[in-house]
Chains A and B, each alone.
Chain A
Amino acid sequence: MAAVAQLQRQFIEYTTSLHNEGYLDDQFTQLQKLQDESNPDFVVEVVSLYFEDSEKLLNNLATALQQKSVDYKQVDSHVHQFKGSSSSIGAQRVATVCVHFRNFCEEKNLEGCVRCLQQLKQEYILVRSKLETLFRLEQQIVQAGGQIPMME
């Protein structure tokens, strides 16, 4: 039981740090709240969808920006998608980069766009690893027979 308590504390600390460092925002908490007995894997399900879509979008963006004549409209719509799903799961820092990205798109600034894509990749990989760690913690808690603590 002490192990569970420790895991729970770790989980809380970790979640808090994710919030503090701005990786996640309130929306993620809201997401967690939506999860209940009738819908036990809701968060993981949504986040997995997010991962799939994001990787597709990142690939699409990389391809689009390598074209000889860049279709900025296309790029913008990809980034819009990315931004929408990121804010939906509360991946705040990714969403913020998307906002900048769209500004460069509007200016048709290729250099800025490419730089933003790099940033976007970085932020995405970061948030993905963070979320994966969080889910592992959750799994451990559940395996240890504990309850996942609710964050407010």
Chain B
Amino acid sequence: MCDQRARMLQDQFSVCVNHVHALAVLVSTFHHYKNPSVIVQDTFAEYTARTAFERPLLSGVAYAPRVLNSEREDFERQHGGTIRTMANKEPSPHRDEYAPVIFSQETVSYLNLLDMMSGEEDRENILRARSTGKAVLTSPFKLLGSHHLGVVLTIPVYKSKLPPNASVRDRIEATAGYLGGAFDVESLVENLLGQLAGNQEIIVKVYDVTNTSDHLIMYGRQTQEGDVTREHVSRLDFGDPYRKHHMTCRYLHKAPISRTAITTAVLGYVIVILAGYMFYTGAIHIVQVEDDFDTMQQLKVRAEAADVAKSRFLATVSHEIRTPMNGILGIILDLRMLALLLDTDLSSTQRDYAQTAEACGRALITLINEVLDRAKIEAGKLELEAVPFDLRSILDDVLSLFSEKSRNKGIELAVLVSDKVPQIVMGDPGRFRQVITNLVGNSVKFTEQGHIFVQVHLAEHSKAVQDAKFESCMNGRSNGPQSKTLSGREAADDRNNWDRFKHLIADEESPFQVLTSDGNSQTVNLMVSVEDTGIGIPLHAQELVFMPFMQADSSTSRHYGGTGIGLSISKCLVELMGGQISFVSRPQIGSTFSFTAKFTRCEKNTVADLKRSLYDDLPTSFKGLKATIVDTKPVRAAVTRYHLKRLGVLVEVVNSIKTAVTGSGSCSCSGQPDMILVEKDVWLSGDDLSNIQVFGRALKSPKLILLATNVTSGELDKAKAAGFSDTLIMKPLRASMVAACLQQVLGTGKAEQGKVMANGSVYLRGLLREKKILVVDDNRVNRRVAAGALKKFGAEVECADSGKAALDLLKIPHEFDACFMDIQMPEMDGFEATRRIRMMESQVNEQQTSGSMDGCCDKQAQARKWHLPILAMTADVIQATFQECQKSGMDGYVSKPFQEENLYQEVAKFFESKPATDS
């Protein structure tokens, strides 16, 4: 860096010196050798001005001839001025010789006639120059005029050409004058270095080091600044061997190396600090984790305690709410009854209040039960049974539960199970029933008019038909949309209309062959759909449907009641059954919920046995009878046909009464129908009325049966007048109910009532009739009440007042079909008693197995494993109690005091699923 600068300066310097040499030659040639001289001040000034670019470092040049004291007067006269000193520009005192400037560059024109030998440095320079004959330099000094530091260059001009080896004396003799130039080092070097990059960072100094002990500065400030340690020194050769110069360069700032060192140090420090901090936080973290762990454990303990507390709370609350709620409900009912009996009609507002209060009360009790149910599922304790059951009869039961409500609303409620679905399947009937009940319950709740239609098909078959939908559309009958659903109202899932439906119910000659329906597969995949024409689910709420406690919006729960927990429970149950639940819903049109469920096929030989025991209630006396259904709606007719077919009745469907009359008259091969079933709306559509009467008179033998969802007493009278004196079947249709009606009409069985409306309690009576039941309770009053209730439903009841007494009575073999067990009893509580009963049973069962291996036991005993259904009777129905019940081997529980629905559900669970017990 420094060397480069030095070389540059040196080059420029020598260029300048050379040019000044040239000037010296010029002056000697044209001023001294020519006589008269051809150079005047103007010529010189112009020439030097025009050649100034050749001498970049020189601020100006001037020529001064050697004038001896003797020549001074001539000289002054000739030039018209006196010789003056440089110091004060006064006329010069007498000297031996002078060197007055006669030619000067314009920049230094102030030198004119100044005696160069009057300045100390210039004088020395002049003397040295003329004795050596070379260019010489002064030591740096303040230049005249600019006050900048500078050096003066002096070159002698001789009168004659001197030989190279001329002596000093010869040289002095021959001297004609001196050409001088001023190097204004300070400003000129500045310019020069300014052209170089990076000059700000580098301090350049130029020293005259002729006197080694005292360096004179030529350029640069004297102050010590910058990095002394990194100073570079370069020698300068300006062509004067007497003078020695050098240049020093140093960086203004600290060296980059040291900067790097500092950076490194700082980084190192930072890293150390960071590392330290990391260790510190690590240590802190460990401590914190330990603390957190402790806290967590405490929280866990508290949470567990809270869980227990919650269970207790639920127990208390369920009881505490239930009791007063029942009281309130009772009061409301009494109030309405009272008003009725006293003939003082309640005002509509009052009645509304009463109804609202009743609905709220019922909703509250439902909520408590549902919350408890959900808790059971969440605990993962729920295991599905695998027992044979008849799903058609279960669906009939569910329908009967809702028959009252649907009838009041005038909704058509119907169920249809495909012929391809096996009669008996293995699965959990209780849970299947629960899901169906929930879905139908929802539909009933949200539907004000139209229909609710439950269908069960094989999933494979349903899918096959769906795949063939295109074809079915092409072949579809040209029925108007009116007749394509059950009630004629549009449904949300329009795939469920008649076009598709007729294929699903088509007989064996159906073009849709399904591999799994041939009975080879052990799995039965069922597809169940519940279609309604209710209010539908708002689009925004559709994704929340299966979340617990979610309803479409708060107004829904206000208006319709319910907790929104039912569907989430259903979803859990369906998934447990290996299926999926989904829905299609269109607001204001309706919703269709469908789910799949896996069941297993029953062994053929067991089916036969079961069929007998499970199916006793459907009489076979109608087999081979013929019926004509008069219905304009094909789906509805299919439902009626389904129920009749279950009874073995041969069915023909016709569009109008007229066709029924003529058809039965003309087609002799099929014979006369034994009964004609007419839908109410077909009958009411005026033009058929006359036909009825004609028909009624003409053909006496077929029985006329009217099918209706609801009838007014006026309509009933009219129907009787019209010929429907035989009977009226109220929907929803159920095989057993239809059977009862037919028995009455056809006189094949004991007639009970004109209208058959079975409900839960009737069904319960069917379940409990002639069952032998043991009631265990230490409380006399409770015992008596429980026994009374069970007797009421037709059971044979025996009582035991303690666990011990119960054990005595239940010594195997015994005759009991079930046991209702109080939990809290002195000495031996219900749990303990149950455990002992189960122990006895397993002992006997083991003996039997080992006995049968010995071959000494008869088949009857081998087939029968002892397991007495034991139900806990408790006032606090909570999850914890339920688990305790299960643990000790109980089959379920009923709340005390007995509630019909609860009792029905629990009893139905094992009396249906364990048909062997009543054999």
Expressed in whole angstroms, the Cα–Cα distance for A30 and B320 within the complex equals: 19
Contact B327 A151 (CB under 8 A): no
Which residues of A sit under 8 angstroms from B824, Cβ to Cβ? 80
Given known A19-B327, A92-B323, A152-B334, contact A39–B791 (CB-CB < 8 A): yes
Expressed in whole angstroms, the Cα–Cα distance for A42 and B330 within the complex equals: 20
- Among B329, B791, B897, max chain A CB count under 10 A is at B897
Which residues of B sit under 8 angstroms from A45, Cβ to Cβ? 784
User: Which of the 9-residue segments B88-96, B291-299, B459-467, B775-783 touches chain A?
Assistant: B775-783
Q: How far is the CB of B678 from chain A (nearest CB, A)?
A: 36
Q: How far is the CB of B478 from chain A (nearest CB, A)?
A: 53
Which residues of B sit under 8 angstroms from A50, Cβ to Cβ? 781
Contact B342 A9 (CB under 8 A): yes
Contact A19 B331 (CB under 8 A): yes
* CB of A20 within 8 Å of the partner chain: yes
Contact B897 A13 (CB under 8 A): no
Q: How far is the CB of B353 from chain A (nearest CB, A)?
A: 15
Contact A87 B323 (CB under 8 A): yes
Q: Type the 1/0 row for A42-54, where 1 means its CB is closer than 8 Å to any CB of B.
A: 1001100110010
Q: How far is the CB of B185 from chain A (nearest CB, A)?
A: 112
Expressed in whole angstroms, the Cα–Cα distance for A75 and B108 within the complex equals: 135
Contact B779 A25 (CB under 8 A): no
Q: Type the 1/0 row for A103-127, where 1 means its CB is closer than 8 Å to any CB of B.
A: 0000000000000000000000000
* CB of A61 within 8 Å of the partner chain: no
* CB of A140 within 8 Å of the partner chain: no
Q: How far is the CB of A49 from chain B (nearest CB, A)?
A: 5
Contact A46 B342 (CB under 8 A): no
Contact partner of A39 (CB less than 8 A), chosen from B323, B782, B788, is: B788
Q: What number of A residues sit within 8 Å (CB to CB) of B?
A: 42
Which residues of B sit under 8 angstroms from A84, Cβ to Cβ? 779, 781-782, 875, 896
* CB of B789 within 8 Å of the partner chain: yes
Contact B323 A95 (CB under 8 A): yes
Expressed in whole angstroms, the Cα–Cα distance for A81 and B824 within the complex equals: 10
Given known A46-B785, A84-B781, A151-B337, contact A22–B327 (CB-CB < 8 A): yes
Q: Type the 1/0 row for B331-370, where 1 means its CB is closer than 8 Å to any CB of A.
A: 1011111100110000000000000000000000000000
Within 8 A of A (CB), among B767-819: 778-782, 784-785, 788-789, 791-792
Given known A12-B341, A13-B338, A151-B337, contact A27–B897 (CB-CB < 8 A): yes
Given known A12-B341, A95-B323, contact A34–B779 (CB-CB < 8 A): no
Which residues of A sit under 8 angstroms from B36, Cβ to Cβ? none
Which residues of B sit under 8 angstroms from A12, Cβ to Cβ? 334, 337-338, 341-342
Nearest residue (CB) in B for A99 is B320
Contact B782 A88 (CB under 8 A): yes
Which residues of B sit under 8 angstroms from A96, Cβ to Cβ? 323
* CB of A7 within 8 Å of the partner chain: no
Which residues of A sit under 8 angstroms from B145, Cβ to Cβ? none
Contact A89 B781 (CB under 8 A): yes
Nearest residue (CB) in A for B788 is A34
Contact A87 B875 (CB under 8 A): yes
Given known A9-B342, A49-B780, contact A25–B785 (CB-CB < 8 A): no
Expressed in whole angstroms, the Cα–Cα distance for A77 and B784 within the complex equals: 20
Expressed in whole angstroms, the Cα–Cα distance for A80 and B826 within the complex equals: 11
Q: How far is the CB of B784 from chain A (nearest CB, A)?
A: 5
| Number of residue pairs spanning A and B whose beta carbons lie under 8 angstroms apart | 103
Expressed in whole angstroms, the Cα–Cα distance for A9 and B782 within the complex equals: 30
Expressed in whole angstroms, the Cα–Cα distance for A70 and B331 within the complex equals: 40
Contact B779 A88 (CB under 8 A): yes
Contact A53 B323 (CB under 8 A): no
Which residues of B sit under 8 angstroms from A15, Cβ to Cβ? 334
* CB of A40 within 8 Å of the partner chain: no
Expressed in whole angstroms, the Cα–Cα distance for A54 and B663 within the complex equals: 74
* CB of B588 within 8 Å of the partner chain: no
Contact B338 A85 (CB under 8 A): no
Given known A27-B326, A87-B897, contact A9–B788 (CB-CB < 8 A): no
Nearest residue (CB) in B for A35 is B788
* CB of A31 within 8 Å of the partner chain: yes
Expressed in whole angstroms, the Cα–Cα distance for A20 and B335 within the complex equals: 9
Expressed in whole angstroms, the Cα–Cα distance for A45 and B788 within the complex equals: 11
Expressed in whole angstroms, the Cα–Cα distance for A64 and B791 within the complex equals: 37
* CB of B898 within 8 Å of the partner chain: yes
Expressed in whole angstroms, the Cα–Cα distance for A36 and B826 within the complex equals: 33
Q: How far is the CB of B567 from chain A (nearest CB, A)?
A: 29
Expressed in whole angstroms, the Cα–Cα distance for A149 and B875 within the complex equals: 29
Q: How far is the CB of B57 from chain A (nearest CB, A)?
A: 116
Expressed in whole angstroms, the Cα–Cα distance for A74 and B791 within the complex equals: 33
Q: How far is the CB of B174 from chain A (nearest CB, A)?
A: 143
Contact B334 A16 (CB under 8 A): yes
Nearest residue (CB) in B for A20 is B331
Contact A9 B792 (CB under 8 A): no
Which residues of B sit under 8 angstroms from A34, Cβ to Cβ? 785, 788-789, 791-792
Contact A25 B338 (CB under 8 A): no
Q: Type the 1/0 row for B535-562, where 1 means its CB is closer than 8 Å to any CB of A.
A: 0000000000000000000000000000
Contact partner of B323 (CB less than 8 A), chosen from A25, A85, A152, is: A25
Contact B897 A77 (CB under 8 A): no
Q: How far is the CB of A107 from chain B (nearest CB, A)?
A: 16
Nearest residue (CB) in B for A17 is B334
Which residues of B sit under 8 angstroms from A31, Cβ to Cβ? 785, 788
* CB of A26 within 8 Å of the partner chain: yes
Which residues of B sit under 8 angstroms from A149, Cβ to Cβ? 341
Which residues of B sit under 8 angstroms from A46, Cβ to Cβ? 781, 784-785, 788
Expressed in whole angstroms, the Cα–Cα distance for A89 and B898 within the complex equals: 11
- Among B330, B792, B824, B826, max chain A CB count under 10 A is at B330
Nearest residue (CB) in B for A51 is B781
Which residues of A sit under 8 angstroms from B779, Cβ to Cβ? 53, 81, 84-85, 88
Given known A42-B788, A50-B781, contact A30–B323 (CB-CB < 8 A): no
Contact partner of A49 (CB less than 8 A), chosen from B336, B338, B781, is: B781
Contact A19 B792 (CB under 8 A): no
Within 8 A of A (CB), among B409-467: none
Expressed in whole angstroms, the Cα–Cα distance for A26 and B778 within the complex equals: 23
Contact A25 B326 (CB under 8 A): yes
Q: Type the 1/0 row for B822-841, where 1 means its CB is closer than 8 Å to any CB of A.
A: 00101000000000000000
Expressed in whole angstroms, the Cα–Cα distance for A107 and B639 within the complex equals: 63
Given known A31-B785, A84-B781, contact A26–B326 (CB-CB < 8 A): yes
Contact partner of B330 (CB less than 8 A), chosen from A25, A77, A85, A89, is: A25
Which residues of A sit under 8 angstroms from B334, Cβ to Cβ? 12, 15-16, 19-20, 151-152
Q: How far is the CB of B322 from chain A (nearest CB, A)?
A: 10
Contact partner of A26 (CB less than 8 A), chosen from B330, B341, B782, is: B330
Which residues of B sit under 8 angstroms from A42, Cβ to Cβ? 788
Q: Type the 1/0 row for A134-152, where 1 means its CB is closer than 8 Å to any CB of B.
A: 0000000000000001011
Which residues of B sit under 8 angstroms from A19, Cβ to Cβ? 327, 330-331, 334
Expressed in whole angstroms, the Cα–Cα distance for A92 and B336 within the complex equals: 21
Given known A9-B342, A30-B897, A87-B896, contact A16–B785 (CB-CB < 8 A): no
Contact partner of B333 (CB less than 8 A), chosen from A8, A20, A27, A152, is: A152
- Among A42, A81, A88, A149, max chain B CB count under 10 A is at A88
Expressed in whole angstroms, the Cα–Cα distance for A19 and B824 within the complex equals: 28
Contact B341 A89 (CB under 8 A): no
Q: List 18 A-B contacts (CB under 8 A).
A: A12-B334, A12-B342, A13-B338, A24-B330, A26-B329, A34-B789, A34-B791, A34-B792, A36-B792, A39-B788, A39-B791, A42-B788, A46-B784, A49-B781, A77-B826, A88-B782, A95-B323, A96-B323
3 closest A-B pairs by CB: A85-B781, A26-B326, A26-B330
B residues touching A (Cβ–Cβ < 8 Å)?
320, 323-324, 326-327, 329-331, 333-338, 341-342, 778-782, 784-785, 788-789, 791-792, 824, 826, 875, 896-898
List 19 additional A-B contacts (Cβ < 8 Å) besides A19-B334, A31-B788, A84-B875. A12-B337, A15-B334, A24-B330, A25-B323, A26-B326, A31-B785, A34-B789, A36-B792, A39-B788, A53-B780, A84-B779, A85-B780, A87-B323, A88-B781, A92-B324, A151-B333, A151-B337, A152-B333, A152-B334
